[in-house]
Structure 1
Amino acid sequence: ITVSSGPSLVEMPDIIGFTQANASKKLDALGIQYKMVMVDNDGTMAAGCVASTDYKAGTKINTENVTVIVSIAGERDDTLVAQTGNAAESNSASPEGEAVTEGD
């Protein structure tokens, strides 16, 4: 006779913003299977950190047959930043080539 207590359900932790290493440690400790994928970084995310997961925090997942997809932000791509307009404004206080000093 085999007795089963049912599927092994674990609550998905909130790992958004964790470093890749810390996210791995947390998921490993909970017995959650996962696959990490790199995603383009438009400058709004910290490079090397968790940008998203395909299961929301608090969701009960079956550790026996579910693999969580963890998206890791890649290195910041300044060309994407320029295209999306998320870069900090450059020095627009004075026209290029002119020095600004107090008392002028």
Structure 2
Amino acid sequence: VLWSDMENVSMFPRKSERIAKEAEEERRQKLKAAENKAKIMESFLKEKEKEVLQLQEEAKTFITPENLDARIEQCLDNPRNYNFAIDRDGRVVKRTVLA
């Protein structure tokens, strides 16, 4: 029993040093994980902000009850004909001959 107590006393400084190193390493890993999570969140927020700005830009061309009459007038003034064909060379053929 005496030998065991002496061995425990002699091992105590190394054990406490090992425990301190393990605690420091655990703290370092948690800090690194938190930094990575913050970077991922920042990247996610930047991407979402970019999407919101794009949607706001696209919303400028939406037809709303306020601009409905003006958009109808614009469509009537500038008619579009989507009746066309494309030949094998990729050229647009607007007039087709009926057989």
Give TM-score, length-normalised by structure 2: 0.21
Q: Which structure carries more strand by proportion?
A: 1
Give TM-score, length-normalised by structure 1: 0.21
Structure showing greater relative contact order (alpha-carbon pairs closer than 8 Å, 6 or more residues apart): 1
